[in-house]
Amino acid sequence: MKDNRWGLPDLGLGVGLRTTHFSHILSNRPDIGFFEILTENYLDTGGRPLYVVDQVAEQYPIVMHGVSMSIGSTDPLDREYIKKVKGLAERTGALWVSDHICWTGVLGRNTHDLLPLPYTEQVLRHTVERIRAVQDILQRPLVLENPSTYLEFGSSEMPEWEFVARLAEDADCGLLFDVNNVYVSAFNHGYDPRVYIDAIPADRVCQYHLAGHTNKGTHIIDTHSDHVIDPVWELFGHTLRHVGLRATLLEWDADIPPFEVVHAEVLKAAVWRNVEVAHAA
Amino acid sequence: MPRDQDTVNPDVERIQRWMQAVIVNPGDVEQAIRSPEATSEIPAESLGEVVTPSHSMTSAERVDVYHGMYLLRMVEALEYDYPTLKHYLGQESFEELVREYVQVHPSRSYTLNRLGDHLPEYLETRHDWADSGFLADLARFELAITEVFDEAESPVLTAEELQSVPTEAWESARLKPIAAFRLLELKHAVVPHLKAYHGDQPSPRPRRRNTWVAIYRRDFSPLYLELTRAEHDLLRALVEGTSLAESLAAAAVKVRSSQRQEKIFRWFRTWVAEGLFSAVET
């Protein structure tokens, strides 16, 4: 079975830790592979969220997923923020720290959106340099997720999959491969998602994301508000064949149903993982 | 407008400044693309070259996906922190408030949790709104709730610990409040609005009334305690580090009652039971 180059474990199936499920998780101790926490929700609080995450971290593997590193921004890196991220990773024993291939703001502002980058040689060099600087502070590989995007820049010099693959190789970082995001971006930009998947360096992938989305007809928005649709599951199967088994997480962030529903949704991934195991055998 | 190579094929710094200017613009996407902030980076006429159209959307429509989501995200963050304010204003007016507020106080943090920190002071400056003073008071109350929610956990002083302080130490003893504690002095009645929100009832009309309130956290839940002025003044003195003897002497002057001592004792019993203090320093 193919593995990632850092030997980071396949944690099985996990879900995002969300406030609305805190009580259920602490009371019922569900049988689940791991939890992913939203980094920024735990950096500046000494209240219930931190108490809960400490409890959860004692019983489950934790991975961290951030939205504000703004790795592709032309603003200076926020080193204080990155140090806080490192501190939280140490506190929770997070197995890895991830964020997104995007920028979130410039001129000192934060739009709190995962904004797309022009895929140029200049942006590639700039982002690689920043990833290396972050990794120097974190003292571990940074894991970056391919984003959902809703526009493309005329100045782009390469397709997104080439940018992502070269970024990971040149910066020596990990990838969090979001299968739904590939589906969303492929629909929005009119390309074949399988071409994207086949271009990803398998040994750099540390984790998968799966999620539901909202199809607006002319475009798809990555809303994390629904079940995973069948074409995304099929792409997940294709990804498993190309990359191999990795920790697989379901994101559900809007109209969040009871924990059992979210848990049941990620358990569907077991079917696809079993097919891959049988195929590999 | 003449177009040089920089604006037809702009570098990433320019693209990012332009895109942010468009996204955060309070107008519609066409106004945003033609705004001075955006056109100083990239002329509106270059849009089709900077952002390519898709098989189903124009360049402007693609930019509008991001433009539309910005305000929604800001509204979502602030309605989470200011639910009573939103209940009073209603969806439309609240969104309008957020649209204007984030123009003056945009997020400059990695977290949205502190986006609303300037809302009370912003509301105070809106003299064009008849009820701005009331809105600012309501926002102060809800901001204190969010602060208390996120404060560090403190040890809580028990009644037994307090009683174990030797009599001779009382003169100079000081009570230290828990970190998750705020004391507010407001000019409007805000508690009826809180009750209306939690009871899913219409908000009452704003009413001027001096209001003193302690906001604190117990078992990780933010709570509040309405106070009289005398209670507030005593608590204020204590949390500001005035010695117990001095604080009590000042309170004794203000409490006009034959049962003054019992009354103050009752206050202390409530405050300690509610866990407002973390330690007694002798």
* Segment B71-126, tens digit of pLDDT: 999 999 999 999 999 999 999 999 999 999 999 999 999 999 999 999 999 999 99
Which of A112, A115, A153 is facing B107, going by the closest CB pair?
A112
Q: What is the DSSP string of B164-177?
A: TS-GGGTTT-EEEE
* Chain B residues with CB-CB distance to A103 below 8 A: 16
Hey, are the CB atoms on B108 and A109 less than 8 Å from each other?
A: yes
User: B88 vs B79, B113, B193, B204, CA distance in Å?
Assistant: 12, 21, 8, 8
Q: pLDDT per residue over A13-22, tens digit each?
A: 999 999 999 9
Checking ipTM against 0.90, whether it exceeds it is: yes
With an 8 Å Cβ cutoff, are B149 and A120 in contact?
Answer: no
Compute the residue count for chain B.
282
Going A19 to A25 to A26 to A32, the CA torsion angle's sign is negative
**Max Cα–Cα distance, chain B, nearest Å:** 85
Query: Which of the following CATH numbers is that of domain A13-280: 3.30.200.20, 3.40.605.10, 1.10.260.40, 3.20.20.150?
Result: 3.20.20.150
Evaluate the CA torsion angle A266, A268, A270, A275 in order and state its sign. Answer: negative
Is the four-CA dihedral A187, A192, A196, A198 of positive or negative sign?
positive
Q: Which regions of chain B does DSSP assign to beta strands (E)?
A: 51-52, 174-177, 181-188, 208-218, 221-227, 277-281
Which residues in chain A have Cβ-Cβ distances shorter than 8 Å to B54?
151-152, 188-190, 219
**Stretch 222-281 of chain B: residues touching chain A, C-beta under 8 Å:** none
Nearest CA to A164 out of A179, A176, A151, A152 is that of: A176
A68–B107 C-beta distance less than 8 A: no
Chain A residue with minimum CA distance to B217? A47
Say which amino acid occupies A224: H
| Alpha carbons A148 and B62: distance in angstroms, whole number | 13
Q: Where are the domains of chain A?
A: 13-280
Give tens-digit pLDDT for B160-176: 998 898 888 888 999 99
> B16 and A46: CB-CB below 8 Å?
no
Alpha-carbon distance of A109 to B111, in angstroms, equals 11
Residue of B nearest to A73 (CA): B16
> What domains sit in chain B, N to C, each tagged with a CATH number?
1-79 (no CATH), 154-281 (3.90.930)
Q: What is the mean pLDDT of chain A?
A: 97
Task: Check pLDDT > 90 for residue A236.
Answer: yes
Using one digit for the tens of pLDDT, what is the confidence trace for A87-145?
999 999 999 999 999 999 999 999 999 999 999 999 999 999 999 999 999 999 999 99
Indicate the residue of A40, A150, A217 with minimum beta-carbon distance to B111: A40
Taking CA atoms, what residue in A is nearest to B58? A151
CA angle, B163 then B168 then B170, to 5°:
55
Task: Mark yes or no for CB contact B70/A107 under 8 Å.
Answer: no
User: pLDDT (tens digit, 9 = 90+) per residue, A5-38?
Assistant: 999 999 999 999 999 999 999 999 999 999 999 9
Q: Write down the pLDDT at residue A1.
A: 54
Alpha helix locations (H) across A106-229?
Answer: 121-138, 160-171, 179-189, 193-198
Among chain A, residues having any CB pair with chain B shorter than 8 Å are 40-41, 43-48, 51, 68, 73-74, 78, 81, 103, 105-113, 115, 117-118, 120, 122-123, 126, 150-155, 188-190, 217-219, 221
Distances (CA, A) of A141 to A7, A10, A133, A182: 12, 16, 11, 23
Cα three-residue angle B212-B216-B222, rounded to 5 degrees: 115
What's the CA gap between B69 and B79, in Å, rounded? 15
Query: Ramachandran region of residue B96, left (φ > 0), alpha (ψ -120 to 50) or beta?
Result: alpha
CB A206 within 8 A of CB A246: yes
Helix B59-81 × helix B91-104 angle, to 10°: 100
CA distance B79 to chain A (A): 15
Nearest residue to A171 via CA among A71, A54, A70, A28: A71
Q: Are B207 and B97 in contact (CB under 8 A)?
A: no
How distant is the Cα of B45 from the closest Cα of chain A, in angstroms? Answer: 14
Would the CA dihedral through B53, A213, A268, A24 be positive or negative?
A: positive
d(CA B279, CA B156) in angstroms, rounded, equals 7
Positive or negative CA dihedral for B166, B172, B177, B179? negative
Q: Which pLDDT does position B243 carry in this prediction?
A: 93
